[in-house]
Each structure stands twice: as C-alpha cells, then as structure tokens.
Amino acid sequence: MKISMRLLSIIFVFLFSTSVYSDEIPCWMNPDTVPETTQLAVLKTYLLPINLDSPGKDLEARVKHQDYRFITIGGFGIGYPGLSNKEFLCKYGSRYIMGTSDALESKEHSRLTHEFSRYAKEYNMALERKLSAQ
C-alpha cells in the first residue's frame, strides 16, 4: 500500500499536536494523580458489603471510615455515573468495580450491571453533594 504525502502529513500533524498538549491531561485521567483517600480507609471499607437497594447507607458506612472514593464502572470506557465534577476524583480517588462491562455474558449479568449502574449513579451523586457541602 502506498500512503500519500497528504495522509502522511496529517498523521504527522496529529502526532505532533497530541504531544504538545500532553501536559494538559485532566487530573482524573492522569495516572500520577494521588488522591487523599488513605490506604487505611481503603482497607477498612474494602470488605464492606454492597446493598444495591441502599446506596445511601453504603455511602454513610464508607464515609464513617473516611473513604470518599467515587464508584467507577466499566463499559465502552471507564464511567463515573452521576458524577458531574470530575475534579473530585483528583482529590478523593475512585474505586473500580470489576465485572461491570459492556461485554455482557448473560441476561443475569446484564440485569446486575444495570442495577449496579443505577446504584453507582445514586451513590456518586450523594457523595458529590456531601463533598460539595463541605
């Protein structure tokens, strides 16, 4: 295959332009961002159960241990349901829930993913309201 000079120049401009803006990565996409949530808080809340019917109670249990991380789920990319201010991710971090995906394996997997997405949205919205009020 022969690549035209025009296409080659477009590729070159694209590669150059992305490197120019590499310092402008939003903090929630920057792997070097270190949230303030402590490892102790993460450890204390790691084994707490998730009650799909009660995101508010789950939030209070985690906040009690100073775990202010937002819920992150999988899909076409990584999503933060219900979170409007992603800058909070930089300060408090997030916890990715394994098994959430857009590659659904069964009707049950689809149902649970949908229920958990609803839960995550309510949880994140409540956490964002709580942190915004502080």
As a whole number, mean pLDDT of residues 27-54 equals: 78
The H or E element spanning position 95 is strand 94-96
pLDDT at 120: 96
Structure tokens at 31: 């792997």
75's CB contacts (< 8 A; 6+ apart) are 100, 101, 102
Task: Please list, in sequence order, all residues whose beta carbon lies within 8 angstroms of the beta carbon of residue 3, skipping any fewer than 6 positions away.
Answer: none
The mean pLDDT of 98-116, rounded to a whole number, is: 86
Written as one string, the DSSP assignment of 22-90 is GGG--GGG-TT---S--HHHHHHHHT----TT-HHHHHHHHHHTT--PEEEEESSSEE-TT---THHHH
Residues 6+ apart with CB under 8 A from 62: 45, 48, 68, 69
* 25 has pLDDT over 60: yes
Which tokens go with 123? Answer: 């949880």
Cβ distance 86 to 80 under 8 Å?
yes
Claim: this prediction has a pTM higher than 0.85: no
DSSP three-state, residue 103: coil
Give the pLDDT of residue 49: 84
The yes-or-no verdict on residue 19 having pLDDT over 50 is no
Domain boundaries, the chain: 32-133
